[in-house]
A and B are shown apart, each in its own frame.
Chain A
């Protein structure tokens, strides 16, 4: 049995074993309708071979039930027509669709809810983003149960194939389930049975309103993994097994197993350091205790791996989130065994970060770092294949240069790409060097294959001159020469023998051991260098000029890196700027300009990067010369370079 076999959820047949999990991508409108952009986004995934699509968090009530500015809503009959259109589109491709019903509880913002306080099982504010929080009254709990049922009925009226109750990720239902958050002393708190009552009443209400056979999925966190952060009262797999049995008894037809809560957000939307499939064993353990189908997420990235999960009977459905953002054709490619053609998700969390940026304000949507078409399905509608063999030159094979070369080649340009190093990927390659970061190489591997498929002329180890470029008579030239580390020349001692760059450390060109090392700068590179150095037996301190240690990545990545720094015991000093480097110490000044001497043996300067672009001025006689990525503006993320590259290559 493989992913290309059909399977049932209740009486509903799904054409294959691939599920797209709920992801809030910000393509709705403030009223919560499924907009044209929204429908186009989901339809593209249905076309790409997804068996079952589950929509993002969809609110069941207004006010304290609002979780995102542009999220979907089924709190009103007014939205039924747009959901009907959504279902109709998805059904055109033989795919099925569920709507995920949700209440954020304390994990939202009063700016969104318009209420003075957020609500939860108990009056305990969020650990992640604390806001005034009160406990729900019994009457309010009863009202919410009805509202979940009403929303499900609206989904049914819109021909949506089923609903998923969001009982995971630390939102309201999980706030009731978790003894760490639920301190009620009434019938909704205390024993595990009482803590489950809210969820079971919701299931019962939906069944009453939608009928016995309307499919219900319940998303649960197998474990809150709170023991990872020293909390012992969180939900464990053993407890979730009991919850799973209880919801099975209540007539649910699918369990969709995820993990985590807000305090352990890195186990929900994992950064790149998590191994493929790491959460699956927990879902399998739950599956061994129930007789309904179980779907599970767990950083599943490769079609071969997905197939094995079904073959080895670990799960009934393979649930994937970000891989569908990265490659909408994941399904068709996976089903036909084209693993190498899949643009695989690196778990760089750019999608989650960009979704978060507009969560409260609206007006923007989530973006995938390496798939600029994601969320822009109504913008980038057709790639014109009209290059007609015209010459295109790309200088630099970092992520931006690679993307430009691929898209131009796809458009039938005759592309030559020059790279001065002996490897592809530029800084992305360096980012993949630290331990557990190898998934960052997925895009490089994918790009290398595409360049080969399209017959792009790739020149590694080549520093091309302006004259050589001119001699090729290019119709379009893309300057993607990236950036180089900043080394502030005015700092006394900056050129001392004991001063290094992160690249020297990460590439292993310099090995430090048993030393006191100061890493100056706490961007992702600085943090990773500090982790590598401390792991190698050094005593590391990070000095950071800003008040916050950790920048340059999203919250999830930063939290993950900070957790590692804390575990390893790396000393962190935000709010301190470097003044001087001596042979045995650095001198820093704090926010009040107080100077402090920190003894050390070596110093690594990780103060970010500056643009490298020696071509633009030399090529100003050529037309269609574009500078992209870090070469244009340094210190940005992979997604910024790739999106810029795509836009130019799409439009030229």
Chain B
């Protein structure tokens, strides 16, 4: 089927729903360092916990594209007394990665980058053991295993709101939507940042707790090793549907202060200023 360049105004609307249907993979949480976490937070977010949570999942039925693999590291923050999650960095691979990245960055304000090979993000299962790996540009960034059974530390159940098959849980997340525009000298600069608040709902089909072992590394372009792992708290193998609800602007922080905390998770070194200019 051929398509045309010019769409009519109805066709030119973005798909309004954001449902990551049938997402399957490894979820993990570890204890890190409050100072390191606080340091990566753009204002006005404030650190709420020394924990870092992440996942490696395959998103099979996205409402906006083909299937893709996605890995994320996120931290717990507070904004005006409300506790939520701030996803610090995402990496994606597979056929749906491109659309999920464009939409994620442009519409929602997520710090997303793409890995060049589909199997740069992988999950392998062997009996009751799953191993997830994330590589980008040849460098290993995340290597996490999970042995199903019990959490490393039972306290982590509360962090996840104790999911079970059939249960729904919700939560708030915060993102930074950036507006890049040329200035009067014709140079593109970030003129505005929208701080976005978003409610999401997880509907669980499976949640099988397990003991995790988390290994994080940094490369030239992706500083995933920045978070020290002081305690493996636990995680799960899960199958769920994730629905992101509407987005609300809850602040306009100063781009000068916020942007330095976002650039390395959205662009590689080659795209950033090199030397004197």
Residue of B nearest to A128 (CB): B50
Q: Which residues of B contact A229 (CB under 8 A)?
A: 34-35, 38, 47
Give the contacts of A548-594 with B (CB-CB under 8 A): 548-550, 562-563, 565-567, 570-576, 590-594
Q: Does A231 contact B (CB under 8 A)?
A: yes
Q: How far is the CB of B67 from chain A (nearest CB, A)?
A: 26
Q: Does B182 contact A (CB under 8 A)?
A: no
B229 touches A574 (CB 8 A): yes
* Interface mask (B137-157 → A, CB under 8 Å = 1, otherwise 0): 000000101110000110000
Chain A: number of interface residues, binned into ranges: 35 or more
In the bound complex, do residue B129 and residue A594 qualify as a contact, i.e. CB atoms below 8 Å apart?
A: yes
CB pair A127 B34 closer than 8 Å = yes
- Least distance between B161 CB and chain A CB atoms (Å): 12
The one of A125, A566, A596 in contact with B215, judged by C-beta atoms closer than 8 angstroms, is: A596
Q: Is B95 an interface residue (CB 8 A)?
A: no
Assess the B36–A566 pair: CB atoms within 8 A. Answer: yes
Give the shortest distance, in Å, between A542 (CB) and chain B (any CB): 10
> Please, how many angstroms separate the alpha-carbon atoms of A594 and B131 in the complex?
9
Chain B's closest residue to A565 (CB) is B228
Known: A125-B83, A231-B46, A591-B211. A573 touches B229 (CB 8 A): yes
Could you tell me if B230 and A591 are in contact, using CB atoms closer than 8 angstroms?
Answer: no
Does chain B have a CB within 8 A of A281? no
Digit string of B210-236 for contact with A (CB within 8 Å is 1, else 0)? 011111000000000100111110000
- B22-41 vs A, CB cutoff 8 Å, 1 = contact: the mask equals 00000000011111111101
B129 touches A571 (CB 8 A): no
Indicate the member of B37, B49, B129, B231 with the most A CB atoms within 10 Å. B231
Contact at B228–A571, with CB atoms within 8 Å? Answer: yes
Closest to B230 in A: A549
B247 at the interface (CB under 8 A from A): no
B78 within 8 A of A: yes
> Considering the complex, which residues of chain B in the window 39-97 have a beta carbon less than 8 Å from any beta carbon of chain A?
39, 41, 43, 46-50, 78, 80-81, 83
Instruction: Give the secondary structure class of A's interface.
Output: loop
Contact B41 A592 (CB under 8 A): no
Whether B147 pairs with A550 at a CB distance below 8 angstroms is no
A123 contacts chain B at the CB level, 8 A cutoff: yes
Instruction: Report whether B213 and A576 are in contact in the complex, using a CB–CB cutoff of 8 Å.
Output: yes
Residue A574 contacts which of B131, B146, B230 (CB distance < 8 angstroms)?
B230
User: A229 vs B38: C-alpha distance in the bound complex, in angstroms?
Assistant: 7
What's the Cα separation between A565 and B147 when bound, in Å?
28
Which chain B residues border A590 with CB–CB below 8 Å? 145, 213, 215
Asked if A123 meets B81 with Cβ closer than 8 Å, knowing A231-B47, A562-B33, the reply is yes
Given the known A-B contacts A572-B229, A572-B230, are A230 and B47 also in contact in the complex, defined by CB atoms under 8 Å? yes
Assembled-state Cα–Cα distance A576/B144 (Å): 12
- With both chains docked as a complex, state the minimum distance between the C-beta of A10 and any C-beta of chain B, in angstroms: 38
Which A residues between 19 and 42 are near B, CB-CB below 8 angstroms? none
A230 touches B34 (CB 8 A): yes
Residue among A230, A570, A593 facing the most chain B CB atoms (10 A cut-off): A230
Tell me, rounded to whole Å, the shortest Cβ–Cβ distance linking A519 to chain B. 14
A633 in contact (CB, < 8 A)? no
Residues of A within 8 Å of B32, CB to CB, are 566
A183 contacts chain B at the CB level, 8 A cutoff: yes
- The size bracket of the interface on B is 35 or more
Asked if A263 is an interface residue, CB under 8 A from chain B, the answer is yes
A228 within 8 A of B: yes
Q: In whole angstroms, what is the CA distance A570 to B230 when docked?
A: 11
Specify which chain A residues have a CB less than 8 angstroms from the CB of B31 in the assembled complex: 548
CB within 8 Å of B: which A302-361 residues: none
Considering only residues 181-235 of chain A, those with a C-beta below 8 Å from chain B are 183-184, 228-233
Q: For the complex, give the distance between the alpha carbons of A180 and B212 in Å.
A: 32
A203 to B85, CA, bound (A): 39
Q: How many A-B residue pairs have CB under 8 A?
A: 109
A143 within 8 A of B: no
Query: How distant is the Cα of A180 from the Cα of B230 in the complex, in angstroms?
Result: 25
A567 & B35 in contact (Cβ 8 Å cutoff): yes
Judge whether A549 and B229 touch: CB under 8 Å. yes
- Residues on A with beta carbons closer than 8 Å to the beta carbon of B34: 127, 229-231, 263
Collect the chain B residues with CB atoms within 8 Å of residue A363's CB.
none
In the complex, the answer to whether A230 meets B231 with C-beta atoms within 8 Å is no
With beta carbons under 8 angstroms apart, the residue of A563, A567, A592 that contacts B147 is: A592
Confirm or deny: A130 has a beta carbon within 8 angstroms of a beta carbon on chain B.
Answer: yes
List B contacts of A567 (CB < 8 A): 35
Question: In the complex, are the beta carbons of A228 and B35 less than 8 A apart?
Answer: yes
Inter-chain contacts of B229 with A (CB < 8 A): 549, 572-574
Contact B215 A230 (CB under 8 A): no
Q: Per-residue CB proximity of A437-471 to B under 8 Å, as 1/0?
A: 00000000000000000000000000000000000
Nearest B residue to A558 via CB reads: B230
- Taken together as a complex, chains A and B put the C-alpha atoms of A122 and B31 apart, in Å, by 24
Q: How far is the CA of A567 from the CA of B39 in the complex (A)?
A: 11
Inter-chain CA distance A571–B31, complex, in Å, is: 13
Asked if A547 CB lies within 8 Å of chain B CBs, one says: yes
For B231, give its contact among A122, A547, A591 (CB under 8 Å): A547
Looking at B36, B80, B230, the one whose CB has the most chain A CB atoms below 10 A away is: B230
Say yes or no for A124: interface residue by CB 8 A criterion. Answer: yes
Question: Which among B50, B143, B158 has the highest number of chain A CB atoms within 10 Å?
Answer: B50
A592 lies within 8 A of B228 (CB): no
Q: Which residue of A lies closest to B43 (CB)?
A: A232
Q: How far is the CA of A592 from the CA of B149 in the complex (A)?
A: 11
> Contacts A263-B34, A574-B232: A594 and B213 contacting too (C-beta < 8 A)?
yes
Contact A592 B211 (CB under 8 A): yes
Closest A residue to B51 using CB positions: A130
How far does the alpha carbon of A184 sit from the alpha carbon of B80 in the complex, in Å?
9
Chain B residue at smallest Cβ distance from A230: B38
Cβ contact within 8 Å between A547 and B232: yes
- Given A124-B81, A565-B228, A573 and B38 contact (CB-CB distance below 8 Å): no
Contact call A575/B232, Cβ cutoff below 8 A: yes
> When the two chains form the complex, which single residue of A122, A566, A575 contacts B152, counting CB atoms closer than 8 Å?
A575
Identify which of A124, A548, A574 contacts B83 (C-beta below 8 A): A124
Chain B residue at smallest Cβ distance from A127: B49
Whether the pair B50, A591 counts as a contact (CB closer than 8 A) is no
In the assembly, what is the distance between CA of A592 and CA of B145, in Å? 7
State in angstroms the CA–CA spacing of A125 and B152 once bound together. Answer: 22
A residues less than 8 Å from B50 (CB atoms): 127
- Please pick, from B81, B146, B212, B232, the residue contacting A183 in the complex, using a CB distance under 8 A: B81
Task: Return the contact of A571 from the options B131, B153, B213, B225 (Cβ within 8 A).
Answer: B225
**Which residues, 111 to 148 on B, are CB-close (under 8 Å) to A?**
129, 131, 143, 145-147
Contact call A572/B213, Cβ cutoff below 8 A: no
A-contacting residues, B93-116, CB 8 Å: none
Which of A122, A184, A591: most chain B Cβ within 10 A?
A: A591
- Within the assembled complex, what's the spacing in Å between the Cα atoms of A562 and B225? 16
Partner of A594, one of B48, B145, B232: B145
Across-interface contacts of B211 in A (CB, < 8 A)? 547, 575, 591-592
Q: Which of A566, A570, A592 contacts B131 (CB 8 A)?
A: A592
B35 touches A573 (CB 8 A): no
26 CB-based A-B contacts, threshold 8 Å: A124-B48, A124-B78, A230-B37, A230-B41, A231-B38, A233-B46, A549-B229, A565-B228, A566-B32, A567-B35, A571-B225, A574-B231, A575-B211, A575-B214, A575-B232, A590-B145, A590-B213, A590-B215, A591-B147, A591-B211, A591-B212, A592-B131, A592-B146, A592-B211, A593-B129, A596-B143
- Per CB-CB distance, the 6 closest pairs between chain A and chain B, nearest first, are A230-B38, A183-B81, A590-B213, A566-B33, A592-B145, A592-B147
A interface residue numbers (CB < 8 A to B): 122-125, 127, 130, 135, 180, 183-184, 228-233, 263, 547-550, 562-563, 565-567, 570-576, 590-594, 596
Given contacts A127-B48, A573-B215, A594-B145, could you give 6 more A-B pairs where the C-beta distance is less than 8 Å?
A: A228-B35, A232-B43, A547-B211, A548-B31, A590-B215, A591-B145
